[in-house]
Amino acid sequence: MRRGPAWPAAAPATSAGAPTHWLLPIDPAAHAEHQPADWRTRPDATPVWEAIARSQPIDRWCLRSGYRTMRTGDTIWAYLSRRQELCAVGSVREVVHEGDAWHVLVDWDDARTAALARHPLPRKAFGQVPMSTCRAGERAAGVLTERYADLPGSRHTT
């Protein structure tokens, strides 16, 4: 197992000082057996996020893209693809390479995620459609930086 590929473990978020934001698309339907019946339409995404956490380790995600530039400390947002909204936010703890697979380990921010899940950020607000794990574009990053600052608290969980 190779941890923290070829870069330092505590690289700065970006060279310009602004945070680097990543969008992690998650399909809630892939966790359907744990979802509430109204998972597609309920305004509060909390039960949807909790259902995903019951079906897999919530702090470990496969990466098919982004793993060469993702850094410890970058901000990562969980995007519910079928609902087209962001419902959770945290920071990259580590990028791990095992054999041919790459994973990101995430420290989800409990307080900010709770607030965000209650009032998810719709895709139309940040304007980007993540088809796979990707860095937020300039417009989306601006919106995400503001939203992050507006969310209450900061407590991480692993």
pLDDT for 65-123, tens place per residue? 777 899 999 999 999 987 899 999 999 999 999 898 899 999 999 999 999 999 999 99
d(CA 7, CA 30): 33
Look up the pTM and report it: 0.80
In this structure, how many other beta carbons lie within 10 angstroms of the beta carbon of residue 116?
26
Report phi then psi at 12, rounded to 5. -65, 155
pLDDT given at position 63: 84
Residues sharing a CB contact under 8 Å with residue 137, sequence separation 6 or more, in sequence order: 127, 128
pLDDT for 59-80, tens place per residue? 888 888 777 899 999 999 999 9
Structure tokens at 142: 């601006």
- H/E run at residue 139: helix 138-150
CATH of domain 18-157: 3.10.590
